[in-house]
Amino acid sequence: MNIDVFIVDAFADKPLSGNPAAVCPLTSWLPPETMQAIAAELNQSETVFFVPEDDGFRIRWFTPTREVDHIGHATLAAGHLILSRLNTMLDAVRFRTGDDYMLVLRDGDGVTLDMAALPPVPSIVTEAIVAALGATPKKALAAKHHLFVFDHPQDIAALNPDMAAIAKLDLPAVIVTAPGGEGSDFVSRFFAPANGVPEDSVSGVSHCCLAPYWAKRLGRSRLIGRQLSTRGGIVVCEDRGQRVVLGGKATISLEGTLHLPGAKSV
């Protein structure tokens, strides 16, 4: 069996920036252990697989170590691949996951991702959190992941968290954020060592939490976020209540064929 494989940079504001995802289109599912082995082999923060279903696609995501859910940048990458290469007649792609869905739509020379919002609620700053971050946040909130708020962009850039301690916290990952500097409304970083991703380059799911928080704090629904990872990236956010729309550019940076002798679909 041969499988087409693409590396797509999502939320990329320049070449070789943003967050790369491996994208593997399938005609039918492979065994989960095979998909996990492929994700480990490709060694991207996420590898996304999708198969046709009704008027859209069913989608699954794997880090190098485990299957995960609702990964924004990899879904945007998969949508970009379909719209730009696999079916250029489409204007939108619907991906189904569990009982939920995610939409990728054309938007000028970029794409947008429509997915469920994750509005955070107040939480507390514990000694374990301070020890894990190596700094004391001004405010703590939580949704699917922890959200810690600082005063200045420099606070976010300077963080050097203890990844082993981050992985032991009670939620899967940690988002840190502060008001933005020039060209952005807020900045952020995203740490998910428990999922096999110490620091994500540009996270879609974190902005499903960040967009509602900053929309409420700043009093407007449309925002620009900058993720301060090594690669960096820009996410244009729109808070729509129950949903969040995330926009950015994507580009196919690598493509090839994975050879799997003896592999079978399920």
Mean pLDDT across the chain? 95
Please tell me the CATH code under which domain 121-239 is placed. 3.10.310.10
pLDDT tens-digit readout, 176-202: 999 997 899 999 999 999 999 999 999
Provide the pLDDT for residue 263: 84
pLDDT tens-digit readout, 105-131: 999 999 999 999 999 999 999 999 999
**Whether the predicted pLDDT of 168 surpasses 90:** yes
Q: How do the domains of the chain map onto residue ranges?
A: 2-111+249-259, 121-239
Q: Is the dihedral of CA 152, 174, 123, 227 positive or negative?
A: positive
In whole angstroms, give the CA distance from residue 164 to residue 95. 33
Provide the pLDDT for residue 181: 79
pLDDT tens-digit readout, 215-263: 999 999 999 999 999 998 889 999 999 999 999 999 999 999 999 988 8
Note whether 2-111+249-259 and 121-239 share their fold.
yes
Q: Is 230 exposed, middle or buried (0-12, 13-18, 19+ CB in 10 A)?
A: exposed
Q: Indicate the SS3 state at residue 241.
A: coil
Tell me which residue of 153, 161, 144 sits closest to 205, measured CA to CA: 144
Provide the pLDDT for residue 232: 85
Provide the pLDDT for residue 12: 87
* Predicted confidence band of residue 43 (pLDDT cuts 50, 70, 90): very high
Tell me which residue of 143, 133, 155, 26 sits closest to 78, measured CA to CA: 26
**Whether the predicted pLDDT of 15 surpasses 80:** no
- Is the pTM of the predicted complex or chain greater than 0.85? yes
User: What is the mean predicted confidence (pLDDT) over 53-68?
Assistant: 96
**Whether the predicted pLDDT of 134 surpasses 80:** yes
Active centre residues (catalytic): 46
User: What is the mean predicted confidence (pLDDT) over 44-58?
Assistant: 96
DSSP assignment string, 94-142: EEEETTEEEEEEEETTEEEEEEE----EE----HHHHHHHTS--SEEEE
In whole angstroms, give the CA distance from residue 107 to residue 112. 6
For the chain, percent of residues with pLDDT exceeding 90: 90
Say which CATH class 2-111+249-259 falls into.
Answer: alpha beta
